[in-house]
Amino acid sequence: MRHGVLILPEHRWSRARERWAKAEALGYAHAWTYDHLMWRWLSDKPWFPAVPTLTAAATVTSRIRLGTLVASPNFRHPVDFSKELMALDDISGGRIICGVGSGADGFDTRIRGDRPLLPGERAARFAEFVELTDQLLRNRVTTYHGDWYTADGACLEPGFVQSPRITLAVAGAGPKGMGLAARYADIWVTTGAPDHHDAQRYDRAVPLLKNHLAVLDDACAAAGRDPRSLRRLLIAGVSAGGVLQSAETYRDAAGLFEGIGFTDLVVPWPRPEFPYQGREEVLEEFAATNLPGTR
């Protein structure tokens, strides 16, 4: 299993740089940050944008993969975003993961005054977002005309370091999102039950997660894809709680999730208060005996 950490973009870089560098030093395979204009629980607190944060993180690390968890159509356009990803991929030496999701109705739309979308509209927009993003990440020149997005000879030169495309991670808890992941993604991303935050202990989330994995397998079959070719990433701490209570619970949860078919587990960097309240020492204790290459 590959292990990763989620680092909220809430601190000035003089402090945040230590966290990103430490994630690599502990031996984590990937590190991520949320891509929001604002975030519901910290809407009145410091919050920095994802792309500059990941750019800075790329300059203080050399091995760890870096990604958005997740970018959404709420304020991203595939053309603009792909250009930024191309620069990020170059600066990081090919270590960027493009994580995308449909985006919920929340602060990212309200502060811009955007019209709320019906569920069907949101799903249709996300389908085009993923399809066009995939084309932009693969091709030097892209032309696309959809109901939601247009690209007219969009040129991405000099192209990406990663070939034939940078790693694409698609989040989706429902059949439509899983279908997009089966068609386009290298990694499928889930938090478990959507819109729950530490609602239940991680072992109680296993039945639901097993059901999601079965639906994902069916989506891969419908797309004519070998399910084993699609990595499965779980973000702990949203609906699967208690993972970071101790190094022992961390190991136990990782074993349970790997046993049912997950290939990647991401845990939030512990904070002194809600959300993601916990002790940073748990990461250190887990890494010392469970992560390769710990320095």
- Report d(CA 250, CA 240) in Å as an integer: 12
CB half-sphere exposure, 217, CA atoms < 13 A: 10
Per-residue pLDDT band for 111 (boundaries 50, 70, 90) equals confident
* 214, 253 Cβ separation under 8 angstroms: no
Is 48 within the bounds of a domain?
Answer: yes
Six-digit token string for 264: 């990647």
pLDDT tens-digit readout, 220-272: 999 999 999 999 999 999 889 999 999 999 999 999 999 999 999 999 999 99
Is 183 within the bounds of a domain?
Answer: yes
Same domain, 120 and 144: yes
- Report d(CA 154, CA 110) in Å as an integer: 29
- Report d(CA 142, CA 231) in Å as an integer: 27
Judged against a pLDDT cut of 90, whether residue 11 lies above it is answered with yes
DSSP 224: T
Is 98 within the bounds of a domain?
Answer: yes
Model pTM score: 0.96
Same domain, 235 and 155: no
Judged against a pLDDT cut of 50, whether residue 295 lies above it is answered with no
pLDDT score at 294: 46
pLDDT score at 188: 98
Helices (H), 71-174: 78-92, 107-110, 119-138
pLDDT tens-digit readout, 176-217: 999 999 999 999 999 998 665 556 899 999 999 999 999 999
Answer positive or negative: Cα dihedral of 191, 194, 199, 203. Answer: negative
3-state DSSP percent of the chain in helix, strand and coil, to 5 = 45, 20, 40
Same domain, 82 and 210: no
pLDDT tens-digit readout, 19-78: 999 999 999 999 999 999 999 889 899 999 999 999 999 999 999 999 999 999 999 999
DSSP 174-201: SHHHHHHHHHH-SEEEE-SSTT-SS-EE
CB half-sphere exposure, 202, CA atoms < 13 A: 25
Question: CA 31, 37, 40, 46: dihedral to nearest 10 degrees?
Answer: 80
Six-digit token string for 82: 């792909």
* 157, 138 Cβ separation under 8 angstroms: no
To the nearest whole percent, how much of the chain has pLDDT over 90? 88
pLDDT tens-digit readout, 115-139: 889 999 999 999 999 999 999 999 9
- Identify the domain containing residue 50 by its residue range: 9-171
CATH number assigned to the domain comprising residue 242 = 3.20.20.30
Same domain, 202 and 101: no
Same domain, 108 and 251: no
Is 4 within the bounds of a domain?
Answer: no
Same domain, 31 and 156: yes
Judged against a pLDDT cut of 60, whether residue 93 lies above it is answered with yes
* CB neighbours of residue 85 within 10 Å: 26
Helices (H), the chain: 13-26, 50-59, 78-92, 107-110, 119-138, 175-184, 206-222, 247-260, 280-290
When pLDDT is averaged across residues 264-292 and rounded to a whole number, the result is 95
pLDDT score at 196: 58
Is 62 within the bounds of a domain?
Answer: yes
Please report which helix (H) or strand (E) contains residue 22, including its range: helix 13-26
Same domain, 158 and 181: no
Give the chain's domain count. 2
